[in-house]
Amino acid sequence: MKNKKKKYVVSFLLEVNLILSLSLIIYYLLQLGFNVNYNYIMIGVAFLYYLLSYFVFKRTVFSFLFKNKGIRPKIILIGLNLAFYLIILGFNNTHSSKYCVLGMRYYPYNVHLASDKDIKEKVEFIGNTDKSAKDYVIELFDKYDVVIIGERAHFENTQWDLIYDIVSDKRFIEKAGNVFTEIGSADYQYLADEFFTKKYNTEEELDKATTKLVYLANGYTEKKNYFTFFKRLNLLNQTLPDSLKIRENFTSINLYPLDIKTPGEQEKHYKDWNRYYDSVMADNVIKGYRRIQKEEKRKKMLVITNSRHSYNLSKYQFKDLKNETTYIFDSLKGSVANVLINTIAAGKKNYSIWFLGSHNKSSWDKAFELCGNKSIGFDFEGSPFGEDKFDMNLNYDKFKYKDIYHGFIFYKSKFDWINWTGQFPYELEDDFIGEYKRRMTLDGFDKETLDLMISEGKQSKGYDKFVGGKFNIDYLLYTRQNAKLFLYQFVFILTNFFIFLLIIRYIIKLKRTPRHKYIL
């Protein structure tokens, strides 16, 4: 009985292998002309396989292997598996790739889509577009007072190099000079006004002040890009006259209001803040716009907010789904443009940001890669990208990108992104320690634990510098697109290993048994 169960397990794995092989071959063939779903193909192949096995041939792989005791059926099966594998290699290995396992290449995008046919149009459009991402954003201020950039995930570092490049440009300084960020609570604007105009005598003083600003204004965060951007902006302002200094404006909600006294109140605050988060940020931007129009010579402003807050839904009836940018568009009609930086997309199944899904089934990434990841900016209207279905949020997938965003900027491929978090320098200095304890107490830490954390933190290596951690994102880029190939290759290796063991077992028995008892 035990031996029979083993045979059934081996047989099942072999049948799965054959079904996966046939499914992949048919899938790649159909993808030459149709946009098909692999899961449906696999279900169809499995159904036909068992239908033919039980009702036509009256024989399954199990009976083929075990009712025929000779070695020949097993060799035939290995041969079939190898033939299927080689056919799939031929279909799959059509582009160069960074990763290759047992001859099978793995790609960061799916290169076998019917949508490959529109890649040529996108490549041609990119080739004919010469305006850089920075120039595109700055030139939008010729037509609009407010330009909103939809930021990638907060921890991505390289995008802030582009943002700093924009705000430090002479044209931006003279035209606009105002930056509004999701980073920072508006309750601490007074601290920002002091920090961004003050000259610090040493880098140590600047590091301490930057850490204090980020922690007080934004709650505890470990993202290096915020720290670096604030520090660079302070140093830039020291080179500018007072009339041209960049003003950093905070828009966010205070995560630790001073009137909250207990952990229970803090927990309730956490639960409630998301409901009015977008409306509060929008209100702070709109108030800032009114102030700038009334009081300042430079009338333009750049708003940086996470991509989910940057959709323009003002044309559509989403009464319960208004976000920051929609409020701004509704209030400042005709004065606003929103721009998306290349980021992640949920796709049909709303994948997590951790799998770094890409716009239009990765066709955007592929087109830019074929053009050397050229950094450009353009309006969605009149571009092939604007005609693609909006796939960053499933609530709005009936719309096109041009319906949700005014423009697009491409800056660095996902392979060049740096997700950098860590420990800020001097993060437990005495002038902040009281507020630090208050916040940690509201989050549920007791006094003894806090004192130990503070003591160990101050003695830790690298207390005086940013101790960061970058993580490799390659596997996040490859996993989703290659799931079926991962599965197939694993099953292929496993099942053929089992067949090989069966052949070895048969040969051993053959040597121990009189030759006439076995038929080859």
What does the DSSP assignment read for 263-320?
HHHHHHHHHHHHHHHHHHHHHHHHHHHHHHHHH-S---EEEEEEGGG----TTS--TT
The answer on 284 and 138 residing in a single domain is yes
Is 77 inside any structural domain? Answer: yes
Q: Which pLDDT value is given to residue 11?
A: 75
Q: Which domain holds residue 36?
A: 2-107+482-517
The answer on 338 and 301 residing in a single domain is yes
The answer on 372 and 325 residing in a single domain is yes
The answer on 312 and 179 residing in a single domain is yes
Q: Which pTM does this prediction carry?
A: 0.84
Which of 398, 416, 434 corresponds to the end of one domain? 416
Is 114 inside any structural domain? Answer: no
Is 35 inside any structural domain? Answer: yes
High-pLDDT (> 70) share of the chain, %: 90
Q: Which pLDDT value is given to residue 112?
A: 64
Q: How confident is the model at residue 191 (pLDDT cuts 50, 70, 90)?
A: very high
The answer on 13 and 162 residing in a single domain is no
For 267-276, what is the mean pLDDT? 84
- Residues 408-427 have pLDDT tens digits of 999 999 888 888 887 888 88
Question: Which residue is associated with the tokens 């954390």?
Answer: 453
Is 355 inside any structural domain? Answer: no
For 337-352, what is the mean pLDDT? 78
- pLDDT of residue 349 exceeding 80: no
Is 449 inside any structural domain? Answer: no
Cβ neighbours for 23, distance < 8 A, ≥ 6 positions apart: 38, 41, 42, 45, 46
Report the candidate in 190, 212, 192, 210 with the shortest Cα–Cα distance to residue 200: 210
Which of 397, 416, 435 corresponds to the end of one domain? 416
The answer on 227 and 372 residing in a single domain is yes
The answer on 138 and 243 residing in a single domain is yes
- Residues 206-233 have pLDDT tens digits of 999 999 999 889 876 778 888 999 999 9
> Residue 409 is part of a domain; what is its CATH number?
3.40.50.11550
Is 432 inside any structural domain? Answer: no
The answer on 179 and 93 residing in a single domain is no
The answer on 374 and 283 residing in a single domain is yes
Domain count, the chain: 2
Is 423 inside any structural domain? Answer: no
Question: Which residue is associated with the tokens 């799931």?
Answer: 483
How far, in Å, CA of 442 to CA of 421, rounded?
24
The answer on 54 and 199 residing in a single domain is no
- Residues 24-83 have pLDDT tens digits of 999 888 887 777 888 899 999 999 988 888 887 777 766 666 565 667 777 887 888 899
Which of 401, 416, 431 corresponds to the end of one domain? 416
Is 441 inside any structural domain? Answer: no
The answer on 176 and 274 residing in a single domain is yes
Instruction: For residue 467, give the H/E element and its range.
Output: strand 467-470
Q: How confident is the model at residue 456 (pLDDT cuts 50, 70, 90)?
A: confident
The answer on 275 and 228 residing in a single domain is yes
How far, in Å, CA of 130 to CA of 133, rounded?
9
Q: How confident is the model at residue 145 (pLDDT cuts 50, 70, 90)?
A: very high
Contact (Cβ atoms closer than 8 angstroms) between residue 301 and residue 138: no
- Residues 281-303 have pLDDT tens digits of 999 999 999 999 999 999 999 99
